[in-house]
Amino acid sequence: MKNQLSNRYIILISRFVLGIIFIIASADKIAHPELFALSISGYKLLPVYLVNISALVLPWLEMITGIFLVGGIFVKSSSVIIAFLLTVFIGAISLAMIQKLEIDCGCFGAGKGPQVGWLRIIEDFGMLFLSGHIYYFSNKPELESKI
């Protein structure tokens, strides 16, 4: 099993799948920051003054880590950031579900995304698995290998 997971083509597939998902997910949010800000405020987690700055930076973080995963740049650290983001998303969706908030999840594009629910959490865990896979079996951080 470990051999299969460490197969470089399997890692390549993981990188492409996760990277492309993140690029697609971020594109609509970048195009409509005001709607994504509404999605974020719907979760009622962040103080009002942090909502806009998150709505601006988060999609670009997703976009850039996605591009890096696909392009093979800073792969290990990109996977760490993505895993962190996914953990935050899982937490946010869980809290929204506990509070029974009927909000759009804002996962794949602002405002028009599906509602928060178990399926979103399962998807995020799937992606979390991919990011873990990439982290463990990808090469060392580039900065380290250059030193």
Which parts of this chain interact with another protein (CB under 8 A)?
Answer: 30, 32-35, 37-38, 41-42, 44, 48-53, 55-57, 59-61, 63-65, 68, 74, 76-78, 80-81, 101-103, 111-112, 140-144, 147
Ramachandran sector of residue 104 (left: φ over 0; alpha: ψ -120 to 50; beta: rest): beta
Shortest distance (Å) from residue 15 CB to another protein: 15
Q: How far is the CB of 132 from another protein (least distance, A)?
A: 15
Closest to another protein by CB, 4 vs 145, is 145
Task: Give the contacts of 7 (CB within 8 A, at least 6 positions apart).
Answer: none
> Which is nearer to another protein, 79 or 122 (by Cβ)?
79
Query: Which CB, 1 or 98, lies closer to another protein?
Result: 98
Q: Show the 3-state SS of 102-138.
A: CCECCCCCCCCCCECCHHHHHHHHHHHHHHHHHHHHC
Q: How far is the CB of 16 from another protein (least distance, A)?
A: 18
The CA distance from 10 to 27, in Å, is 26
CB of 4 to another protein, least distance (A): 25
Q: What is the DSSP letter of 37?
A: H
